[in-house]
């Protein structure tokens, strides 16, 4: 479950939320059954809480958003997308440390 600073995205709201974002966006593709995803989730929530207004932090449950997951070729999770101006600028698969995630977001700012 995401914190109040994290936007839950799905197939119906993904494009509108991403295109409306003026700040760099982190998209965390995850699933409840994915152990590494559950390990990454508190880190993502922490980044969201510490960077309100600086970055938009979002999550996509791959089981509930197959169209978006397919669009970005998500085959393994957790997958993180780094988006600026509605365009994917970077993508990682697997666990990343908090500092590395923040560094990649700041590079887009």
Average pLDDT, the chain: 95
Distance in angstroms (rounded) separating the CA atoms of residues 77 and 14: 18
Q: What total number of domains does the chain contain?
A: 1
| pLDDT tens-digit readout, 48-62 | 999 999 999 999 999
Joined together, the tokens standing for residue 58 give 């979002």
The pTM of this model reads: 0.95
The answer for residues whose C-beta is within 8 angstroms of residue 20's C-beta and 6 or more apart is none
Asked if residue 64 belongs to a domain, the reply is: yes
Quote the pLDDT of residue 1: 47
Tell me the residue range of the domain where 13 lies: 6-108
| pLDDT tens-digit readout, 78-97 | 999 999 999 999 999 999 99
Asked if residue 49 belongs to a domain, the reply is: yes
3-state helix, strand and coil shares in percent for the chain, rounded to the nearest 5:
35, 30, 35
User: Average pLDDT, stretch 43-49?
Assistant: 96
Residue 10 belongs to domain with CATH number: 3.40.30.10
- Is 78 designated active site? no
User: Average pLDDT, stretch 4-27?
Assistant: 96
Asked if residue 99 belongs to a domain, the reply is: yes
Asked if residue 42 belongs to a domain, the reply is: yes
Measured CA to CA in angstroms, residue 15 lies from 20, 60, 71, 85 at distances of 8, 12, 11, 12
Catalytic residue chosen out of the listed positions 25, 34, 44, 77: 34
Q: Is the pLDDT of residue 33 over 90?
A: yes
Joined together, the tokens standing for residue 84 give 């600026």
Catalytic residue chosen out of the listed positions 18, 25, 37, 47: 37
Asked if residue 52 belongs to a domain, the reply is: yes
Asked if residue 88 belongs to a domain, the reply is: yes
Asked if residue 38 belongs to a domain, the reply is: yes
- Is 70 designated active site? no
Asked if residue 1 belongs to a domain, the reply is: no
């Amino acid at each position: 479950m995401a914190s109040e600073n994290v936007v839950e995205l799905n197939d119906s709201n993904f494009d509108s939320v991403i295109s409306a974002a003026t700040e760099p966006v982190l998209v965390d593709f995850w699933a409840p059954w994915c152990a590494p995803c559950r390990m990454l989730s508190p880190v993502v929530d922490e980044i969201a809480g510490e960077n309100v207004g600086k970055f938009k932090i979002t999550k996509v449950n791959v089981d509930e958003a197959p169209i978006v997951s397919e669009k970005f070729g998500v085959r393994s999770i957790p997958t993180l997308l780094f988006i600026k101006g509605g365009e994917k600028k970077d993508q990682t698969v697997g666990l990343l440390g908090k500092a590395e995630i923040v560094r990649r977001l700041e590079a887009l700012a």
